[in-house]
Chain A
């Protein structure tokens, strides 16, 4: 989670220079691809935004430098992520063809026929080519905006992703927003009011944030779903319903959504409240509070200083969890058998479905990187401490 800060602090001067050269090379490649006429609209758009941002950054002295540095770093990171997206699925033991042909091969007794069939599939899927060649084909297609076909489901990866992402977002977006807001208010309240509030809020939040989230979700599932039967426990809607326009269908969507939403929200509340409480407690005891109070500044104003400062790290927490939204929903989706991207990724891994795994992780990497970049930009704008640190570093 702290990766962005590690990126911000490259060690030696030489390492920095090497990173710049590498990034420049990669950006060059990107531009060549974009101009070659094969790139998809999305890529051209992304590239245009990046170039515009870099050009615009020259208009702003300190912040511009900071901004450029961020952009270079994230572009570099993106290419590394791209390579890993390609490579990691291929490190999974097992072979996609074996899995696809599992049932067919079981019926064939002639081993040479089986081998022939397998080889035919392997050639068809392009898996007989060298890994480097596969990689270039993968990236080439990627820049044309093609994510390939799922090996196992025999559907375009893009289509699968498009149908799964809304489910994940439907759980995560509201629970992150609601949980973040509620958690911070509770945490701030606990820190400020102390006494009974703290005695209740703090241990409950501590419990929520320290129990592994999948265990907590399973407990929720067990109590609210199975034992008390308040909510359905499986899937995204009732499969018996035929018409997808009916009110019954929407009610079913809602009732299936409620339990994972509630579990996830509680988990977020716990973590945020703990974080906010300790930030606020820390800030309440720092020296500037004492000095401001003894200068006669009214309590309300000093409290505002404190919460603004305590809030800043929390804002980055929010952006981070929004960026990690898709990845973060995996556990919840598995526990509640919710048909989102996380569950799909899980299945893709089980089926050694290279293009689908790469597609899922690509979505995750991009959202993560964009969120991190946005945090850094927003942070650099609103927190002078970060700005100064950046100016000194550069």
Chain B
């Protein structure tokens, strides 16, 4: 039994705008995801997190287009599958997605029960309608939702219930990979915690084999993620365990990000990531050189001259900077602590 659920290799995808310009929103992303693990992806708004999560589904429709790379799900390259196979055997079955706006993810004029049947009939489950609804009931009660949700229209559910209903629906078939794009951003703090806790519980009880969790609120990731990838302008700039990335970031961008949240979460809950001065490069036309260079405190002429590749350290950590980790750590140590 292979324990690698998802293997992504040099994935490149882009939007084609109405003006026929290309926005390279995911530009060479690689990573692996193991059974039972949660990968958190963090980065400021517009860096391509949602695009990446959508791209991982392997189903592209305009304006999003596939560029190159491979996505191996349980060992099968889903980019090589015919659409019908992908739709029937993968989407919603092996790989599931909770959209960023989960509040509006349900058809307002369809009762949940009919939607459940709609989804399950697409996937050759061999279940009859009664069995399908029983399955849905199990999921709902797992998420502490009453059975009557089945007979409700989405508009009749509260925000938090809708959120959990979407989670229940997306995990009906125990997917290998669940991608949650900021699933809790619209909720209050305590509801957020509930959602997190439920997702973890689903993982523990193997209702979901592995998870990708996207957010721009880093403190959340600390309790949810096993690994964290920091994304910047369409690329990963750092990858490591949650502990490593949060408490000992290597890349100057991660360092700047984490510097702003080292303070205990209380009272600092929604510290914005974009408090680093400057703006990321335009993804339509990415300049040569390191993408973070213009905002980096440690910029050198070489940074602008050559593209940066990922460096992999012996312990598996990765970062995208021309400096060695020792050099970076030295520079950080010399820096006067900002909040002193």
Which A residues are closer than 8 A to B by beta carbons? 286-288, 290-298, 301, 305, 308-309, 312, 383-385, 387-389
Q: Quick one: CB contact mask for B260-271 with A, threshold 8 Å, 1 for yes?
A: 000000000000
Contacts of B119 in A (CB 8 A): 295-297
Give the docked Cα–Cα distance between A354 and B97 (Å). 67
Residues in A whose Cβ lies below 8 Å from that of B307: none
CB distance from A14 to the nearest CB of B (A): 28
Q: Give Cα distance in the complex from A359 to B115, angstroms.
A: 51
In Å, the complex CA distance between A16 and B106 comes to: 34
Whether, in the assembled complex, B99 has its beta carbon less than 8 Å from a beta carbon of chain A, the answer is: yes
A384 and B99 within 8 A (CB): no
A384 to B106, CA, bound (A): 13
Interface residues in chain B, defined as those with a beta carbon under 8 Å from any beta carbon in chain A: 54, 57, 59, 61, 87-88, 90-93, 96-97, 99, 101-111, 118-119, 122-123, 153, 155-156, 166, 169-170
Do B123 and A384 have beta carbons less than 8 Å apart?
Answer: no
A309-B88 contact given A294-B59, A296-B123, CB 8 Å threshold? no
In whole angstroms, how far apart are the Cα atoms of A294 and B88 in the complex?
11
- Contact between B96 and A383 (Cβ–Cβ < 8 Å)? no
Q: Which 9 A-B pairs have the closest CB atoms?
A: A295-B92, A296-B91, A384-B153, A296-B92, A291-B105, A287-B104, A388-B155, A294-B97, A287-B101
- From A386, which residue of chain B is reached at the shortest CB distance? B155
Question: A291 contacts B166, CB within 8 Å?
Answer: yes
Given that A288-B105, A288-B107 are known contacts, is A297 also in contact with B153, CB under 8 Å in the complex?
no
| Contact call B122/A298, Cβ cutoff below 8 A | yes
Inter-subunit contact B118/A383 (CB<8 Å): no
Distance in angstroms between the alpha carbons of A388 and B99 in the assembled complex: 24
Taking a contact as CB atoms under 8 Å apart, the answer to whether A297 and B97 are in contact is no
In angstroms, Cα B153 to Cα A383, docked, is 10
Task: Determine the chain B residues whose CB is within 8 A of the CB of A309 once the complex forms.
Answer: 107-109
Interface centre among B54, B57, B61, B107 (most CB of A within 10 A): B107
Tell me whether A384 and B155 are in contact in the complex, defined as CB-CB below 8 angstroms, given that A288-B107, A295-B96, A298-B122 are known contacts: yes
Known: A294-B97, A297-B92. 13 other contacts (CB 8 A): A286-B104, A287-B101, A288-B104, A288-B105, A288-B107, A291-B166, A293-B91, A295-B92, A295-B96, A297-B122, A305-B109, A384-B111, A389-B155
Residues of B within 8 A of A286 (CB): 104
- Contact between A287 and B123, CB atoms less than 8 A apart: no
11 pairs, CB–CB < 8 Å, chain A vs chain B? A287-B99, A287-B101, A287-B103, A287-B105, A291-B99, A293-B91, A294-B57, A296-B91, A297-B92, A297-B122, A387-B153
Q: CA separation between A325 and B103, bound complex, in Å?
A: 40
Chain B residues with CB under 8 A of A305: 107, 109-110
Which residue of chain A lies nearest to B88 when distances are taken between CB atoms in the complex?
A296
Contacts of A291 in B (CB 8 A): 97, 99, 105-106, 166, 170
In the bound complex, residues from chain B placing their C-beta under 8 Å from that of A387 are 153
**Contact B170 A385, beta carbon cutoff 8 Å:** no
Contact A296 B108 (CB under 8 A): no
Q: A181–B153 Cα gap in the complex (Å)? A: 29
Alpha-carbon separation in the docked complex, A240 to B236 (Å): 86
How far is B146's CA from A58's CA once the two chains are assembled, in angstroms? 28
Cβ-closest chain B residue relative to A295: B92
Whether the Cβ atoms of A388 and B153 lie closer than 8 Å is: yes
Contacts of B59 in A (CB 8 A): 293-294
- A-chain residues with CB within 8 Å of residue B90 when the two chains form the complex: 296
CB nearest to A299 among chain B residues: B87
CA distance A389 to B106 in the complex (A): 17
Complex Cα–Cα for A308 and B57 (A): 27
A389 neighbours in B (Cβ, 8 Å)? 155
Shortest CB distance A380–B (Å): 13
Q: How far is the CB of A335 from chain B (nearest CB, A)?
A: 40
A-chain residues with CB within 8 Å of residue B108 when the two chains form the complex: 288, 309, 384-385
B53: nearest chain-A partner, CB-CB:
A294
Contact B153 A292 (CB under 8 A): no
Closest residue on chain A to residue B104 by CB atoms:
A287
A131 to B119, CA, bound (A): 67
A312 touches B104 (CB 8 A): no
Known interface pairs A293-B59, A296-B87. Does A383 touch B101 (Cβ–Cβ under 8 Å)? no
Contact between B106 and A288, CB atoms less than 8 A apart: yes
CA distance A346 to B111 in the complex (A): 50
For A385, what are the chain B residues with a Cβ–Cβ distance below 8 Å?
108-109, 153, 155
Nearest to B108 among chain A residues (CB) is A385
Complex CA distance for A384 and B157, rounded to whole angstroms: 12
B105 / chain A contacts, CB cutoff of 8 Å: 287-288, 290-291
Query: Given the known A-B contacts A287-B104, A288-B106, A305-B110, are A297 and B118 also in contact in the complex, defined by CB atoms under 8 Å?
Result: yes
B107 partner, pick from A292, A298, A312, beta carbons under 8 A: A292
A216 to chain B, nearest CB (A): 31
CA distance A293 to B92 in the complex (A): 9
> Which A residues are in CB contact (< 8 Å) with B88?
296
- Give A288 to B153 CA distance when docked, in angstroms: 13
Separation in Å of the A56 CB from the closest CB of chain B?
24
Known: A295-B170, A298-B87. A290 touches B109 (CB 8 A): no
Chain A: which residue is nearest B57 at the CB level?
Answer: A294
Rounded to whole angstroms, the CA-CA distance of A301 and B115 in the bound complex is: 11
Chain B residues in 8 Å Cβ range of A384: 108-109, 111, 153, 155-156
Query: Nearest Cβ distance between residue A355 and chain B, in whole angstroms?
Result: 47
Kindly list chain B residues whose C-beta atoms are within 8 Å of the C-beta of A297: 92, 118-119, 122
Task: Note all chain A residues with C-beta closer than 8 A to B153.
Answer: 384-385, 387-388
Chain A: CB-nearest residue to B169: A295
Considering the complex, give the chain B residue whose CB is closest to the CB of A298: B122
Q: Which residues of A contact B103 (CB under 8 A)?
A: 287
Minimum C-beta distance from A202 to chain B (A): 14
B299 to chain A, nearest CB (A): 39
**Which residue of chain B has the shortest Cβ distance to A311 in the bound complex?**
B109
Contact B109 A308 (CB under 8 A): yes
| Residue numbers in A under 8 Å from B57 (CB-CB) | 294
